[in-house]
Amino acid sequence: MRIFVTGATGNIGSNVVRELIAAGHQVLGLCRSKEKAVALAAAGAEVLRGTIEDIGILKSGASQSDGVIHLAFNHDFSRFVENCEDDRRVIATLASALAGSARPLVVTSGTPIANTVPGEPAREDNPIVGSDTHPRAASEEAAILASEIGVNVSVVRLPQVHDPVSQGLITPLIEIFRQKGVCAYIGDGLNRWPAAHFSDVARLYRLVVERAEPNARYHAIAEEGVPMRDIAEVIGRRLNLPVKSVGKEEAQEYFGWLSMFATRDMPASSAKTRQKLGWEPTGPKLLDDLAELRVSSS
């Protein structure tokens, strides 16, 4: 297949590009940076220079491909709601170029969207919350609308995707720990975040676009839930910082914008994804990568 990948030079996207090319696919990668374009071309992909704000570029990339994997997302979480609404518009644009064809569109969401059954992990076929409850649901709402206009669309929901350099929301959490001089968790710290290694997530995206099943939902989950206390403790050892519990009333002051996630219990299952695709994660565990965390001396 010739696959158009947005966010092709990002942490996940660069792994997806390598996975696709290694499997014999051709990749057309969207890239805004001249410097990163060089690395993308060196990986064996064709480069499409542009941004997700450029409707014409998005339509062009989708129109000349056999399928699309949409990974680009603005990770400035201080404007999280606006970024999610931007993603809604990007998905609508990509869908308009694929409508009426069997060419797959794979969009990206987060597992908390399906944390809707109290006391149970998020599952692929759970009902989802709306964007009025969780802004990231805008992407799934856009996927539903795309399906209604005849697009072969599926969704991959992500946990904290990690290696020793980057770990999703844990990366900005680490910066907060460094700024505060202490690694904190809320209450007993037993609220859980699911996780998966970059290599496993990249393989899942390949399997999803190859399967091209309409209206499918997949969970890129290797570990169903890692307790926040365990995360704080291993980071504390790596950074040589103290670890402490803070009350829920202190969450906003300590965590800032991240408090909307730091207080949540977000376990997620990938049982149905594994059964359907034969996907079995083999990469390092989250705590192992955090124990090898690459940090600067500052």
Look up residue 277 and give its two tokens: 């695709």
Q: How many CA atoms lie within 13 A of 6 on its CB side?
A: 28
| Cα 235 from Cα 233, distance rounded (Å) | 5
Name the CATH code of domain 162-194+224-267+283-292 (choices 3.30.310, 3.90.25, 3.30.750, 3.30.519). 3.90.25
Least confident window among 64-78, 85-99, 180-194: 64-78
HSE, side-chain direction, 13 A CA sphere, residue 267: 14
The dihedral region occupied by 46, where left means phi > 0, alpha psi between -120 and 50, and beta the remainder, is beta
Does pLDDT of 46 surpass 70? yes
What is the three-class DSSP state of 196?
strand
Comparing 243 with 260, which gets the higher pLDDT?
Answer: 243
pLDDT confidence of residue 266: 95
What percentage of residues in the chain have a pLDDT greater than 90? Answer: 91
Q: How far apart are CA 63 and CA 101, in angstroms?
A: 11
Q: Which two tokens mark 39?
A: 């690395």
Evaluate whether 268 touches 225 at the Cβ level (below 8 Å): yes
Q: What single letter denotes the amino acid at residue 74?
A: N
Mean pLDDT for the stretch of residues 58-71: 96
pLDDT tens per residue across span 219-237: 999 999 999 999 999 999 9
Helix axis angle, 80-98 to 55-63, nearest 10°: 40
What is the predicted pLDDT for the residue at 77? 76
Q: pLDDT for 98-157, tens place per residue?
A: 998 999 999 999 999 999 998 899 999 999 999 999 999 999 999 999 999 999 999 999
Question: Which sequence spans correspond to the domains of the chain?
Answer: 2-161+195-223, 162-194+224-267+283-292
267, 192 contact by CB (below 8 A):
yes
* Res 295: pLDDT: 73
Distance CA 52, CA 60 (A): 12
Q: Is the pTM of this model over 0.85?
A: yes
Tell whether the model's pLDDT for residue 296 goes beyond 70.
Answer: no
For residue 298, the model assigns a pLDDT of: 45
Nearest to 12 by CA among 162, 113, 154: 162
CATH architecture of 2-161+195-223: 3-Layer(aba) Sandwich (3.40)
Q: What is the mean pLDDT of the chain?
A: 94
- Give per-residue pLDDT as tens, 162-209: 999 999 999 999 999 999 999 999 999 999 999 999 999 999 999 999
